[in-house]
Amino acid sequence: ASQTNYVKDGHKFLIIDEFIIQAKFPDMKVKEVTTKTLEDLELGSPIKLSDGTLIKTEKDKRVYVVSGGWRRLIPDSETFEELGYKWTNIYTVSSKIMNFHSLGEQILR
């Protein structure tokens, strides 16, 4: 199975799901390279969603915001709206992506 990496400045960074490419690098094209090409690159930390990205899963209506690589629960609609977030900006993601971003502290008003 092939895996996707983001390559920059002699380092490779694993991308665990294609959605992260779409959300973080929407204009970037994926280029196929040989395993040999990647072997010589230093491994960096896997790529996570950008800070401020709003996420939820299909089966769970709770909304989280990505902050410092963590997912932080936004406890209610009042807090969500007070922070200036827009309901249309919430991405529905897989459990794999949700769990990849460890649970951080809940957002407080």
Which amino acid, one-letter code, is at 68?
A: G
The predicted-structure confidence for 29-85, as pLDDT tens digits, reads as follows 889 988 888 998 999 999 999 999 999 999 999 999 999 999 999 999 999 999 999
The residues pairing with 4 across neighbouring beta strands, listed in sequence order, are 15
Report the pLDDT value the prediction gives residue 1, as an integer from 0 to 100: 58
Q: Give the separation between CA 81 and CA 77, rounded to whole angstroms.
A: 6
Reported pTM = 0.87
Cα torsion 38, 44, 45, 49 to 10°: value is -70
State pLDDT tens for residues 5-23: 999 999 999 999 999 999 9
